[in-house]
Amino acid sequence: MKINRIFLASAILCGSAVGFSSCDEELDRPPVIEPMATYQPNTTIAELKEAYWQADNNYYTPILTTSKGDSIIIAGRVVSNDAAGNLYRQVIIEDETGAIDFSVTMNDINTKYYYGQEVRVNVTGMIIGKYSGLVRIGAIYNNGIGRMDEAQFTTHAQVNRLPNPALVDTALVTLEDLATYKATTEGLIRWQSRLVRLDRMKFNQGGRTMLGVPGTTSGTSVKLSDESGKTIELRTNNMSTLAGMTAPTGTGSVTAILGYFGSDWQLMLVDAAGLQGFDDTPSINPPNPGGEGDGSSANPFTVDAVTSGAASGTGVWVTGYIVGCIDTSDSNNYQYQFSAPFTGAANLLLAANPDEKILENCVPVQLSNGTTVRNELNLPANPANHGKQVTIQGNVEKYFNQPGLKTTTSYNWGGTGGTGGGEVEDGQVIYTGLAQSAAECDWTFDNVTMPTELSYIWKWTEYNGNHYLNGSAYLDKVAYAAESYAVSPEIDLTAVTSATASFEHAAKFQTTLTTLCGFAVRESGASDWTPVAIPTWPAAGSWTFVNSGSINLSAFAGKKIQVGLKYGSSTSGADTWEIRNFKVTGK
């Protein structure tokens, strides 16, 4: 059966165009040239594997022509991606009969063979065999199957048309199903290397172990269980970006490549988005921000509203996630950049999802030269902006030959716009802290009430490479009554007449968050706190970070202050509150 794919395709290859001579903000996008394969498939993946299947767990054999002397050509859609480093030097293609793993000494495969793109391979003369029970195509190594060199693969493979992730078939299976499939050769042929999803799974050591050991060689296996207690191993490459992730708690869905090692199945995540719905799954794929919106500061247009043509107007606000930019330095060959290093400073790409990599799903945003909007938002100068939600004011009009946002004047972090000229243009940045890219935190913690069962309430923590301040009095499924302040260093407002603060925060389970937690200010050296309202709280139900909105500090202008993030809880509710990217501006 087909289900919605949760991994995202890489950037679409673009062709070249000539005849442009205007400035980089005004250029249209060159036409896309669709690759067309000349190979015509004549063999399914299952037929190929069946013809060369042997009972031995390790063997190799060359692939010969058919009895009629024809080349053997297979075709399938790419279901692998090496961006996270977990599927290392593998190209896995899948058709309606099965999947096959090509082991190739090639880097950055995700930029050459895109997820959801059809690849046709003339496998005649290539080497097929098993490595510890898994059928793959590669080269002879130590009397078994190893990696072929890049040229061996690229001279045999042709891409056909542009990537289309919607056509990838992700199979919904259970551990009971997999036990049945393993019992027969037919089941092994059909299911080895398939992209599958398993629901209602839990990690046996969720919250207590990492998926891998970062920086070490080889890999790490952790166990997943279903509701009946059946288990399967999830294998993580210790050199991948997934290795440092802690196995999440609770139950959720796992989408992964179905590998095989020795005599049993094992799962290999393509990327972190393969874990969905667990209690502490990070917000890897936050939902689209809001509905379509009306373009106002409080209710900005969404990316979907712009791309669908529903949004229009001048001086309107649009919200989305910064996912990349376009390098227009070569007017005949634009470079669409969805990952660092970034070189396109004149524009941004906004998307409804922070992992989007398909150009047509993005809104290109003009960053006018010499403006604060360009200086503060462009990715070459500010690579940490990648993946952050921002709301930008400008004119909805065609840009790069698709719906876009031009003549931008203001911006505000988070899902709502600013007032007047925007958050940054209203004044100078006086203090920044709690940066999600920072490994250290210079805030202190003042525990007013902390139960003996807890060893801390606030802590500076890291998840999947991002850092944030974490406040919680919930331990082992018990809520404790507590009160604690995370206290900033001294912030000097003596040179300004008005000031505002803002930060990003998230909280999934909300019981006492908005009633017992809050924001406060005190003069340096004082002990009493003055509460100040937080305009915007995160929505319940997911770990989606939102901007707090502008918190008015003008009553403290001309003074030196400290700000405090107050965590409060009771025995009836103890939320987990996550905060990052704190900033104070003034004028």
Q: What is the mean pLDDT of residues 524-538?
A: 89
Q: What is the mean pLDDT of residues 55-75?
A: 91
Residues 468 and 485 in one domain: yes
Residues 410 and 443 in one domain: no
Q: Domain limits at 452?
A: 433-586
Alpha-carbon distance of 102 to 104, in angstroms, equals 6
Residue 310: pLDDT band by 50, 70, 90 thresholds? confident
Given a cut of 90, whether residue 283 has pLDDT beyond it is no
| Residue 161 within any structural domain of the chain | yes
Residues 79 and 194 in one domain: no
Number of compact structural domains in the chain: 4
Residue 353: pLDDT band by 50, 70, 90 thresholds? confident
The single-letter DSSP state of residue 580 is E
The pair of three-digit structure tokens given for residue 43, joined into one six-digit string: 């063999």
The letter for the amino acid at 181 is Y
Alpha-carbon distance of 557 to 189, in angstroms, equals 71
**Tally of CA atoms within 13 A in the half-sphere of 36 that contains its CB:** 3
Given a cut of 60, whether residue 282 has pLDDT beyond it is no
Question: Is 352:389 a contact under the CB 8 Å cutoff?
Answer: no
Residues 411 and 319 in one domain: yes
Q: What is the mean pLDDT of residues 514-542?
A: 89
Comparing 178 with 208, the larger pLDDT belongs to 178
| Residue 37 within any structural domain of the chain | no
Alpha-carbon distance of 206 to 209, in angstroms, equals 7
Alpha-carbon distance of 166 to 164, in angstroms, equals 5
Tens digit of pLDDT for each residue in 247-259? Answer: 999 999 999 999 9
Residues 454 and 530 in one domain: yes
pLDDT value of residue 287: 39
| Residue 105 within any structural domain of the chain | yes
Residues 560 and 443 in one domain: yes
Would you tell me how many other CB atoms lie within 10 Å of the CB of residue 122?
18
Tens digit of pLDDT for each residue in 81-116? Answer: 998 999 999 999 999 999 999 999 999 898 899 999
Residue 579: pLDDT band by 50, 70, 90 thresholds? very high
Residues 152 and 187 in one domain: no
Residues 437 and 413 in one domain: no
Percent of the chain residues past pLDDT 70, beyond the cut: 90
| Average pLDDT across the chain, whole number | 85
Residues 86 and 205 in one domain: no
Residue 280: pLDDT band by 50, 70, 90 thresholds? low
Tens digit of pLDDT for each residue in 399-412? Answer: 988 899 998 888 88
pLDDT value of residue 8: 36
Minimal CA–CA distance to 25: which of 365, 403, 385? 365
Tens digit of pLDDT for each residue in 436-452? Answer: 777 778 899 999 999 99
Q: What is the mean pLDDT of residues 343-368?
A: 88
Residues 570 and 481 in one domain: yes
- Between strands 90-94 and 402-413, the pairing is unpaired
Q: What is the mean pLDDT of residues 527-538?
A: 89
Residues 448 and 575 in one domain: yes
CA distances in angstroms from 265 to 77, 100, 231, 311, 380, listed in the order given:
22, 15, 10, 48, 43
Residue 140: pLDDT band by 50, 70, 90 thresholds? very high
The CATH number given to whatever domain includes residue 213 is 2.40.50
Percent of the chain residues past pLDDT 90, beyond the cut: 49
pLDDT value of residue 72: 97
